[in-house]
Amino acid sequence: MQAVELIQLLRDRYKKESYKAALVGTYKDGRYVDPPPLQTNLSLFLAPLALSVAPLLAVKNLYIQWALGVSLISITYMALYIYLKKNCFIPDAVKVVRTNYGDVEYLRRNKLEILENPQKLPGDYEYYYAPVNVCVARDRRPNAFTLDGPRGPVVYFTTGIFARLSPEELQAVLEHERGHIKYRHTHKLLAFLISEYTLRIPLVHLVYAKYSITLLAIHLIGVALLYTAMLQAFEFEADKYAARRHRERLVSALVKLDWNGIVESLLNPLAARLTLLARTHPLTIDRIRKLHAIPY
């Protein structure tokens, strides 16, 4: 199927319903409560790898290097986990109003009243309660992610993803996040970082220091590429887990969340493939193709 035909097929099947604006309200104990913003981004998941270089440059003793490096990796991961756990806000209810009414200032000014009584809107609208039992962060960017830890996993949804997706699609995304928990992806990434660092130390002392320190830079680039490849593989695995019950809803959610990316990757496939070297997620069109390849 040609790129243009595939774009048209996805648009017709998954982008029929489209609203200009959405209001998201989170409620706790019957009162409207603004969720806290999340003062972090997913690039911090690469921080343990970057920080593990410091002991190799600062300390000469091999055993101290190993102890410091493993400690830095573990502490960085735990600091991120504790921050996310501490700031986790789980509302009792999430109300969503999506509308084609285009006066953004009016919507912003009358948000609470509209959430309580959407009939105030002059145009057509859609009103529903979204599934909760996740941590909610105030962020217009649609995103969902999971981090596991000693006190249980934390699953985050941003207000942006509530605004974009229907309750059924949100449930499919939640099932995807449960796939990450089911297959212990956080623990596998942490084990990979510690194992790689343990292997890196003798290579630095026996090979890289003897011939050229440039080899260490090449080594780290290779590790970073392998790390992002693992992250992308985990996304496919979590997709497969969610597809057991929510295949079409997950595909619909992916189309709505990354429509521009899908179009760009279909019209400029070579450029899109090159971006994989620096992406933590696979191309969305590849995820959709794999989901449709999974047998019923």
List per-residue pLDDT tens for the chain, 296 residues long: 688 899 998 998 888 767 889 999 999 999 999 999 987 665 666 777 778 888 888 888 889 999 999 999 999 899 999 999 999 999 999 999 999 988 889 999 999 999 999 998 887 889 999 988 899 999 999 999 999 999 999 999 999 999 999 999 999 999 999 999 999 999 999 999 999 999 999 999 889 888 888 998 899 899 989 999 999 999 999 999 999 999 999 999 999 999 999 999 999 999 999 988 888 899 999 999 999 976 65
pLDDT in the model for residue 272:
93
pLDDT in the model for residue 294:
66
Do 266 and 9 contact (CB within 8 A), yes or no? no
Rounded to whole angstroms, the Cα distance separating 83 from 29 reads 24
pLDDT in the model for residue 102:
81
| Residue showing tokens 């890196």 | 200
pLDDT in the model for residue 43:
62
Residues 6+ apart with CB under 8 A from 88: 135, 154, 156
Query: Helix, strand, coil % (nearest 5) of the chain?
Result: 65, 10, 25
Candidates 296, 245, 271, 259; CA nearest to 284 is 259
pTM: 0.93
pLDDT in the model for residue 295:
65
Starting at the edge strand that comes first in sequence, how are the strands of the sheet with 125-130 ordered? Answer: 31-32, 21-28, 93-99, 125-130
pLDDT in the model for residue 41:
62
What phi-psi label fits residue 139: left (phi over 0), alpha (psi between -120 and 50 degrees) or beta? beta
93 CB-side CA count, 13 A: 11
